[in-house]
Structure 1
């Protein structure tokens, strides 16, 4: 075996670069974070060939002193950490003191900076060599410019793993997008191959913040976004979540920031999935931009070199506040607040011109024609005009909806005109036509009533006539003992009879017919992984959802106008009424403008 020896500085830096610099986007992330930490108010990002050939990032921050420039390219040199205690409460985006040294070791790097307004600055250069650098005078306004060229020119094995120019720029653009959400007070410009793509102005109020959100995430997200703000135990969660009708095929519009740092975290992902579990269609992903402000001492950001992962000291509290905040925000949405069904979810039947989509022509499902259309009997005497006026009239027997003093006109879902093929309710509101899937809507109403009833009586435990023996790990057995009170609240009674053996003595009465072993194993697994569990609640909800589905009004059942209006009013008063228990939409809207486009009116 070879003798132990010290690595030379160049090789050590290139090895370190493997942890920090994966692709041009990694370089952009580190340099932009440094600019934000330096108090920049404007950041300009210029990219050449996806960042492989060149990446220049310029800011107007505090700048770097002349004598500090050589140290800026040295490993483990930083202005952000001074004592061990500083690592206990990191308040900056960058802090490890490795980024610039790592980038410089695998590229041709020039760092130019000035701390004065007169345009006098200094530059330091490195071309993958040792970190000894010569400082030269250079004209530069207050701030810093880092010019990185020929990434991985001296490590061809790393360079061959880079993707195409388009792919690499896509990753880099996503990095800028995240950081533009981190620092809305900073203006950003982004150009690729000398073509400007972005010019984001700073956001200092709610209107300009919404404008930036629209530019970064798209106007459709902003239209479907619901604000979230909840504070508990020194933790503040705020931001926006999209309505379930604005779901995505991929998890490509999910931004979560902890103290301004974009992170991916299992605790966060699990809490978000649980909050959307009752309203999101299978296989779809929610969209959100959320910020968690927490005491820096309560979160460890030094878990991974790229700082994409964090570790919360109070994991259960963080999970709870995220779940409760999102769950409450989604439950509070009513038809009067909600946007209509997003076409990506519902399936657009109008093309860009407003005409019926050819792809859907001839594919409408066929329903048996009802023998009588409740409330729409055109065979009675009187003119068609009189008959139509009758159906537009507010039904005298329709349940009234409580309105505030400043609310005028029909309620959000309007008043029923009639049924279509015994499946859909047609209603008119102030904006146009409302279409309601009556079975899906009633299913949600029944489901929410069942949940409220169960919540009122609590979870009733049912003792098992014959206790079930369960083999578990010692860690799970220990957890069962220490979590006895929490398990009892869930209606589960466990007894430890050996180092790795439990007896299941009681389960929730509503789930007595479910697999007790699988339920207990899932509960213990959740408690180990996330510090809490909602397995019992989820299984109860699943059972009640099935009960609600069977109890809801079926297709082809004819409803009177009074019944239809009663259903509309119930929808307006019911939590999560925009989706059925399976996450499918319960209603959609066609405005008068939509109908005018369909029939080419005004052209």
Structure 2
């Protein structure tokens, strides 16, 4: 007996709102991801002070205030649209890009999964301007208001329209810890910038670093003096590969419950989970039980390299493979 074949499905073009929300979910997976994108925008704007306020782990409120160059009133209408950026004009500019972001997707993605309000003022403007955004578009015309030079971005009710993503997140306290971790790592790497992060309504900050402090000063402030006093400066350079590495690592006298690993490549924070695990395994092989390192590494590459850390071998050998 012949088996009937199923009819082919109808191919349809997805609605633009659906497309944008799917794309937003790839960029913004949790409050800490949204904050990372906004911190990088603030750093690109040459900010020297970045203040973060969080409520319910960033799900209810995630606000960032900087003193950077601000956004022009003329650009407010399209600032939350996809692929709108001041950092790139033509494809060839990618060869000399010197900023964190350049695709213009961060604010657009956030506006598709949250309510976004931007208050900004440039140095040559007599007042600040406020705009409220949803799905990449202004809800109403931009209005003049009082405000300092720089930009304040307020993100409210993150994932209000994607209940499955919101339910998949951990508790507000866990999400808050991830937010603090992101701020801490950028504070160590950008020691010329003052960072502050605190819960909404609290008078004390979870992290506060002064402007123009050293990386070691910020490590001491964030991770404690017991780590800072055990730090050793390390550096490595390979001119043939145009590769430079420098940073800090705790010496063999230091012990902690887990490995702490901060990795920046070309000034970009790298999710180094698998490499961290490999390094932790190496230390377990060479050091006594319960002795784990603190590492802060910053590398500059002229090309993308594949970093591999062997299961059996020393950390220095792993660095030589980079």
Scaled to the shorter chain, the TM-score interval is 0.7 to 0.9
1:203 aligns with 2:212: yes
Query: 1:116 and 2:123 equivalent?
Result: yes
Which of 2, 12, 24 does residue 31 from structure 2 map onto? 24
1:226 paired to 2:202: no
Q: Which moved more, 1:54-63 or 1:67-76?
A: 67-76
Larger helix share, 1 or 2: 1
What secondary structure, in the 3-state scheme, does the structure 1 residue paired with 2:286 have?
coil
Q: Which residue of 238, 243, 246 maps to 2:251?
A: 243
State yes or no: 1:327 paired with 2:322.
no
Q: Which residue of 1 aligns with 2:187?
A: 180
Question: Structure 1 residues 531 and 173, CA, compared in 2 at 3 Å: closer, same or farther?
Answer: closer
Between the aligned partners of 1:157 and 1:68, the Cα distance in structure 2 is: 33
The one-character-per-residue Cα deviations of 1:388-446 (angstroms, maximum 9, x if unpaired) are xxxxxxxxxxxxxxxxxxxxxxxxxxxxxxxxxxxxxxxxxxxxxxxxxxxxxxxxxxx
| Distance change in 2, residues 1:243/1:531 (3 Å) | closer
Q: RCO (CA 8 Å, sep 6+): is it higher in 1 or 2? A: 2
In 2, are the aligned partners of 1:81 and 1:87 still within 8 Å (CA)? yes
TM-score of the superposition, structure 1-length normalised?
0.47
Structure 1 gap segments, 5+ residues each: 300-311, 329-525, 534-603
Match of 1:153 in 2: 160
Describe the shift of the 1:77–1:117 C-alpha distance in structure 2 as closer, same or farther (beyond 3 A): closer
Alpha-carbon separation, structure 2, partners of 1:278 and 1:267: 17
Map of 1:62-73 to 2, 5 A cutoff?
62-73=69-80
Q: Following the alignment from structure 1 to structure 2, what is the Cα–Cα distance between the partners of residues 162 and 50? A: 10
Unpaired runs of 5+ residues, structure 2, are 1-7
Q: Considering only aligned residues, what root-mean-square deviation do their CA atoms show, in Å?
A: 3.1
Residues 66-81 of structure 1 mapped to structure 2, 5 A cutoff: 66-81=73-88
Are 2:291 and 1:281 aligned?
no
2:58 aligned with 1:51: yes
Q: Does 1:214 align with 2:203?
A: no
The 3-state SS of whatever aligns with 1:16 is helix
Change (3 A) 1:123 1:212: same
Change (3 A) 1:270 1:108: closer
Contact 1:256 1:289 in 2 (8 A): yes
How many correspondences in the alignment?
308
Deviation readout 1:461-514 (Å, 9 max, x if unpaired): xxxxxxxxxxxxxxxxxxxxxxxxxxxxxxxxxxxxxxxxxxxxxxxxxxxxxx
Tell me if the contact between 1:117 and 1:142 (Cα under 8 Å) persists in the aligned partners.
Answer: no
Write out aligned runs for 1:302-341 (5 A): 312=305, 315=306, 327=316
* Offset, 1:11: 1.7
Displacement after TM superposition at 1:115 (Å): 1.0
Counterpart in 1 of 2:21? 14
CA distance in 2, matches of 1:123, 1:12: 27
